[in-house]
Amino acid sequence: MHMVIRAVVLAANPNEALDKARTAFEQLTENQNPFDYFTMFDEEGSSVSGKGRYGAVKPCLRIATKAGKAMLDEGMAATKEYFLENLARIKAAITRYTPAELFEEAPAVKPDQDALDLTLFKHYCYQVGKYGGGSIWLYDSDGSGIRSLRQLDNVLGNYGTPIPAGEEFYIVPADVHF
């Protein structure tokens, strides 16, 4: 599967932002964990990833711009939506089944057609708790998943340290495969 993730990096210029994001993406694909590979949108040549899959996507945007803020908001919204979808599935399963049924991944009686597939219950729990991979769309310059608005505020606040003169935040997308 493919998805477009984004790295939020502090840099002096777009080229430096691309380099810092590339380093973060390399960490996310090292030993194929959590992603197999990435293609940034400043790269040419692939017909199955990056521009070849998604078309022309801006390879780097200042977060202070309307387009940069939109890309940031889109990434956070996707992370939250996926979290809430999985949380709803977990709640439904907990309401409907006993702990023993959830553990065994099998209902005591034959479920109706609308029943949640219990073999996926633990998968949904795993997705809610993940720190990276297919459930997280935003990452910081270290390749750490940004899983909440609080974490995003910490990143954009530079973890309480002053932002160096001449630097600003950029958002850099990459197509990843997992």
Task: Give mean pLDDT, residues 68-75.
Answer: 98
What kind and span of H or E run contains 177?
A: strand 168-177
Q: What pLDDT is recorded for position 166?
A: 96
pLDDT tens digits, one per residue of 79-116: 999 999 999 999 999 998 999 999 998 887 766 656 67
Q: What pLDDT is recorded for position 32?
A: 73
Cα 92 from Cα 9, distance rounded (Å): 38
* Residue ranges covered by each domain of the chain: 2-43+56-177
Cβ atoms 66, 72 nearer than 8 A = no
- pTM for this predicted structure: 0.89
Q: What pLDDT is recorded for position 153?
A: 96
pLDDT tens digits, one per residue of 39-71: 999 988 677 888 889 888 999 999 999 999 999
Q: What pLDDT is recorded for position 113?
A: 58
Which of 83, 95, 56 is CA-nearest to residue 173? 56
pLDDT tens digits, one per residue of 133-175: 889 999 999 999 999 999 999 999 988 899 999 999 999 999 9
Cβ atoms 177, 34 nearer than 8 A = no
132, pLDDT greater than 80? yes
Burial bucket for residue 159 (CB in 10 Å: 0-12, 13-18, 19+) = exposed
Q: What pLDDT is recorded for position 72?
A: 98
Q: What pLDDT is recorded for position 79?
A: 97
